[in-house]
Amino acid sequence: MIEHPDIQLVRSLFDAFGTGDLDALGGLLAPDVVRTVPGSHRLSGEHRGRDAVIANLAVAGRLTRGSLRVELRWVFTTGHGQVVSVNRCTATRGATSIDEHVAVLFTISGGLIIGIVEFFERQEPFDALWGGRGAA
């Protein structure tokens, strides 16, 4: 069975993230992509533009000293520019660890990701992992 191109695009994004290939990841994002991360931690908020999204992901990797892993579990598409993924996210930062599920809604146009909205199974573990907005 041939996968829908939108699903292939999202799989490619997770592959690039998993190998730390931020250049390849950036090539899958539209220049004006918007990523929305819930919560009240230093990585939450609306990140506008390819560079801002990549920088935010790089900070996450740096803060967890490379322990951040996102395992793609399921991926679904409408076939009309929307894809939903369900993922297992694990990470450790200092004495704080998470093992949580995250759903992500991707909006795709012209073969590039233009929107990313994350939904956490439980917000509190992510807020604890990433710390407050002003934390170092």
User: How far apart are the two ends of the chain, measured CA to CA in Å?
Assistant: 47
pLDDT, one tens digit per residue, over 101-113 is 999 999 999 999 9
- Phi, psi values for residue 66, rounded to 5°: 80, 5
Q: How confident is the model at residue 132 (pLDDT cuts 50, 70, 90)?
A: low
pLDDT, one tens digit per residue, over 67-80 is 999 999 999 999 99
Query: Amino acid identity of 84?
Result: V
Dist CA 124 CA 15 (whole Å): 27
Mean pLDDT of the chain: 93
Count Cβ atoms within 10 A of the Cβ of residue 110 and give its class: 0-12 exposed, 13-18 middle, 19 or more buried: exposed
Please give the residue that has the higher pLDDT: either 136 or 93: 93
Can you give the pLDDT at residue 55? 95
Q: Which domains does the chain have, with CATH numbers?
A: 5-129 (3.10.450.50)
Q: How confident is the model at residue 2 (pLDDT cuts 50, 70, 90)?
A: confident
Can you give the pLDDT at residue 18? 92
Can you give the pLDDT at residue 131? 86
Task: With CA atoms as reference, report the closest residue to 94 among 59, 51, 61, 65.
Answer: 65
Task: With CA atoms as reference, report the closest residue to 47 among 59, 38, 37, 39.
Answer: 37
